[in-house]
């Protein structure tokens, strides 16, 4: 780890001295809630001990580990959200296709087209499905389970189908009871004192690793070394997690509250995991760091004085950079054609006075150590900002709005949203902060978009929240839209897919600084019907994914509006891809 903090270097050094003088690392390990906001933080620090836990607790019961290893499944799928899914996503995207025994995929969407695209691309009877939910009541994995279970029951019969499922959940949850009733292959208990986004080194992260054919010990061993290096008696300057957290916290306090992440391509998905950890942990009480992934690195003059640049690179490999159990190989330096260019751009940014932090991993299994380092750093940022890094109060607000919509129907919500504008099969909705300026001119899509962009000020962030299938052509169009705004306004831009982001950056979007504007995109259930697409029913629970996805998008849009965020909601109509292209044309016209 190397710091180039420019004008904030001395503030970082002073923060180290204060932290050590207050014995803050020892207080953290002693679970002293007064180090944070003096709320319930002491209940959520079990992650400190995870690297040194016994295999039954860290990975899962021995009998279940053996059953998973012997299972005939050809691939594994995690049904989860947020902290339960993003670490498995890192594992799958890092090691799939590199000799892993089974490919690992994550299904964390409610968008009907995305679900069907996933389930029709494989023979579902060849899968092993992890239903991952700490609370056991998370709607997305439960709904996905009922859909896949119904299809497997029809193909295999009830008893055989049950053996294709594993539950990972806290003891005593509804999911645990259901897993016993429905004849799951097994149950791996989580820890009540470990929050979802801090659970990478627990069964939520390590049992899927085992299912791939990775040796979880190869992730835990470097994590243990990192935990020792972050121990209670290690001074801040020598403590990798504490020192990173102090730097981020000091910079955030100085107005550098946009965390721009760049990574080696082979571990790019690790940025999404960092994003949810930092955003959901720090984004509350009007404070927080906004992580920015996938934006790229530009010339120094493109940025305002609100950025922190953190680069995570995989080192040159060596004897320890290759095999996992089952012959899986990890990526090394040869997989990083961007390394030299990133280094040059980071040099230029540091020379211009922007703070730059560079982290290098010896090999891909050092991701276990990196996860622990970032967890410790996140806790320290919470202490510096004086917020509780372990709760997520505004995530529940979006859930409540979704439940209300599912109960009352989306039409009532549309009636509450004003003004609205329909053009070319697309419908636009305005958040409260934009209603007045939009009412003063022509009702034209390009003008509405121009008004949105003109509201963006230096230090703001621009959001694109898309409740759409994350298909290559959709992502390419959204990135084009993102780049157009970034060229017009030199502010941080983010692209997030729903409902995944609701359990990630969604907390910061609603609870963090009110410096956000953006677009909320979805396809309504009525638009899908107009395209003659049959609703995708949710067995047992009732309703359909069409209505659920729309309710989640609309519900979150309304919470963002109520919190004063400058958002335009966009129902893209019967053909979302065509709607996106039209939206881009309007945006480019607005910015011309």
Residues 122-174: tens digit of each pLDDT = 999 999 999 999 999 999 999 999 999 999 999 999 999 999 999 999 999 99
Last residue of a domain, which of 181, 214, 247? 214
Tell me how far apart the alpha carbons of residues 251 and 355 are, in angstroms, rounded to a whole number. Answer: 8
Q: Tokens representing 319?
A: 């004897």
Q: Tokens representing 278?
A: 């930092």
Q: Which contiguous run of DSSP H or E holds residue 341? A: helix 339-351
Do 87 and 200 meet the contact criterion of CB atoms below 8 Å apart? yes
pLDDT in tens, 25-70: 999 999 999 999 999 999 999 999 999 999 999 999 999 999 999 9
Amino acid 420: pLDDT: 87
Give, as one character, the DSSP assignment of residue 533.
Answer: P
For residue 3, which phi and psi values (nearest 5 degrees)? Answer: -105, 135
What is the domain count for the chain? 3
On the CB side of 380, CA atoms within 13 Å amount to 32
Residue 160 within a domain: yes
Buried b (16+ CB within 10 A) or exposed e, 95-121: bbebebbbbbbbbbbbbbbbbeebbee
Amino acid 409: pLDDT: 59
Last residue of a domain, which of 183, 214, 245? 214
pLDDT in tens, 265-300: 999 999 999 999 999 999 999 999 999 999 999 999
Buried b (16+ CB within 10 A) or exposed e, 281-308: bbbbeebbbbbbbbbebeeeeebbebbb
Instruction: Using the predicted structure, report yes or no on whether residue 414 has a pLDDT greater than 60.
Output: no
Examine the domain organization and report whether 60 and 101 are in the same domain.
Answer: yes
CATH number of the domain bearing residue 146: 3.40.50.10490
Instruction: Using the predicted structure, report yes or no on whether residue 79 has a pLDDT greater than 60.
Output: yes
Instruction: Using the predicted structure, report yes or no on whether residue 91 has a pLDDT greater than 60.
Output: yes
Give the percent of the chain with pLDDT over 70.
Answer: 95
β-sheet with 420-423: strand ranges across? 420-423, 426-430, 566-571, 516-522, 461-467, 492-497
Contact residues for 191 (Cβ-Cβ < 8 A; gap 6+): 46, 50, 57, 170, 202
Report the pLDDT averaged over residues 312-334.
51
On the CB side of 90, CA atoms within 13 Å amount to 29
Last residue of a domain, which of 159, 187, 214? 214
Examine the domain organization and report whether 8 and 94 are in the same domain.
Answer: no
Domain span at residue 490? 393-591
Instruction: Using the predicted structure, report yes or no on whether residue 412 has a pLDDT greater than 60.
Output: no
Tell me how far apart the alpha carbons of residues 367 and 222 are, in angstroms, rounded to a whole number. Answer: 8
> CA angle, 54 as apex, 52 and 59 as ends, to 5°?
100
Examine the domain organization and report whether 328 and 366 are in the same domain.
Answer: yes
Amino acid 416: pLDDT: 54
C-alpha pair distances (Å), 182 with each of 133, 207, 443: 16, 20, 54
Report the pLDDT averaged over residues 431-442.
93
Report the pLDDT averaged over residues 407-432.
75
Examine the domain organization and report whether 23 and 59 are in the same domain.
Answer: no
Tell me how far apart the alpha carbons of residues 559 and 397 are, in angstroms, rounded to a whole number. Answer: 7
**Residue 326 — very low, low, confident or very high, per pLDDT cuts 50/70/90?**
very low
CA 466 to chain centre: 14
Examine the domain organization and report whether 126 and 247 are in the same domain.
Answer: no
pLDDT, the chain, mean: 94
Residue 351 within a domain: yes
Examine the domain organization and report whether 419 and 346 are in the same domain.
Answer: no
Report the pLDDT averaged over residues 381-410.
88
User: 128-142, 266-280, 314-328, 571-585: which has the minimum mean pLDDT?
Assistant: 314-328
Report the pLDDT averaged over residues 391-419.
73
**SS3 call for 536:** coil
User: 185-194, 391-400, 523-532: which has the minimum mean pLDDT?
Assistant: 391-400
Q: Which of 86, 81, 199 is nearest to 142 (CA)?
A: 81
Do 247 and 11 meet the contact criterion of CB atoms below 8 Å apart? no
């Amino acid at each position: 780890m190397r710091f180039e903090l420019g004008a904030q270097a001395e503030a970082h050094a002073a923060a180290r001295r204060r932290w050590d003088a207050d014995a803050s690392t020892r207080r953290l390990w002693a679970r002293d809630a007064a180090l944070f906001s003096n709320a319930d933080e002491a209940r959520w620090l079990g992650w400190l001990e995870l690297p040194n836990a016994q295999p039954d607790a860290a990975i899962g019961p021995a009998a279940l580990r053996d059953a998973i290893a012997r299972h005939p499944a050809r691939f594994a799928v995690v049904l989860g959200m947020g902290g339960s899914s993003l670490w498995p996503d890192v594992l799958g995207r890092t090691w799939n296709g590199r000799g892993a025994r089974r490919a690992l995929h994550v299904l964390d969407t409610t968008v009907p087209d995305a679900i069907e695209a996933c389930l029709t691309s494989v023979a579902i009877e060849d899968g092993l499905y992890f239903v991952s939910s700490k609370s056991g009541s998370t709607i997305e994995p439960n709904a996905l389970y009922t859909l896949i279970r119904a299809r497997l029951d029809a193909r295999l019969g009830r008893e055989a189908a049950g053996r294709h499922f594993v539950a990972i959940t806290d003891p005593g949850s509804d999911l645990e009871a259901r897993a016993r009733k429905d004849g799951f292959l097994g149950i791996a208990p989580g820890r009540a004192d470990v929050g979802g986004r801090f659970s990478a080194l627990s069964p939520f992260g390590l049992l899927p690793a085992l299912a791939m054919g990775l040796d979880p010990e190869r992730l835990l061993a470097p994590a243990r070394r990192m935990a020792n290096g972050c121990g209670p008696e290690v001074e801040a300057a020598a403590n990798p997690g504490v020192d990173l957290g102090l730097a981020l916290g000091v910079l955030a306090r100085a107005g550098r509250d946009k965390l721009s992440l760049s990574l080696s391509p082979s571990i790019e998905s690790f940025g999404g995991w960092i994003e949810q950890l930092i955003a959901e942990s720090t984004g509350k009480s009007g404070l927080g760091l906004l992580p920015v992934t996938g934006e790229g690195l530009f010339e120094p003059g493109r940025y305002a004085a609100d950025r922190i640049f953190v680069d995570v690179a995989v080192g040159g490999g060596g004897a320890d950079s290759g095999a996992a159990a089952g012959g899986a190989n990890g990526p090394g330096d040869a997989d990083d054609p961007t390394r030299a260019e990133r280094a040059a751009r980071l040099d230029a940014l540091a020379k211009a006075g922007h703070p730059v932090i560079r982290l290098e991993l010896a090999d891909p299994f050092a991701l276990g150590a990196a996860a622990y380092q970032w967890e410790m750093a996140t806790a320290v940022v919470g202490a510096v900002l004086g917020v509780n890094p372990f709760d997520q109060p505004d995530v529940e607000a979006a859930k409540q709005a979704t439940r209300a919509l599912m109960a009352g129907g989306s039409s009532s919500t549309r009636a509450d949203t004003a003004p609205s504008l329909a053009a070319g099969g697309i419908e636009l909705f305005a958040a409260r902060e934009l209603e007045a300026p939009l009412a003063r001119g022509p009702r034209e899509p390009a003008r509405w978009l121009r008004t949105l962009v003109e509201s963006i000020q230096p230090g703001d962030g621009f959001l694109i929240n898309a409740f759409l299938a994350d298909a290559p052509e959709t992502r390419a169009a959204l990135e084009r839209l993102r780049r157009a705004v970034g060229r017009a306004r030199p502010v941080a831009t983010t692209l997030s897919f729903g409902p995944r982001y609701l359990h990630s950056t969604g907390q910061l979007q609603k609870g963090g600084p009110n410096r956000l504007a953006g677009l909320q995109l979805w396809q309504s259930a009525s638009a899908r019907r107009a395209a003659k697409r049959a609703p995708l029913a949710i067995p047992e629970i009732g309703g359909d994914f069409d209505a659920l996805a729309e309710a989640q998008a609309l519900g979150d849009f309304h919470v963002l509006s109520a919190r004063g965020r400058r958002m335009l909601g966009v129902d893209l109509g019967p053909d979302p891809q065509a709607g996106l292209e039209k939206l881009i044309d309007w945006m480019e016209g607005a910015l011309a």
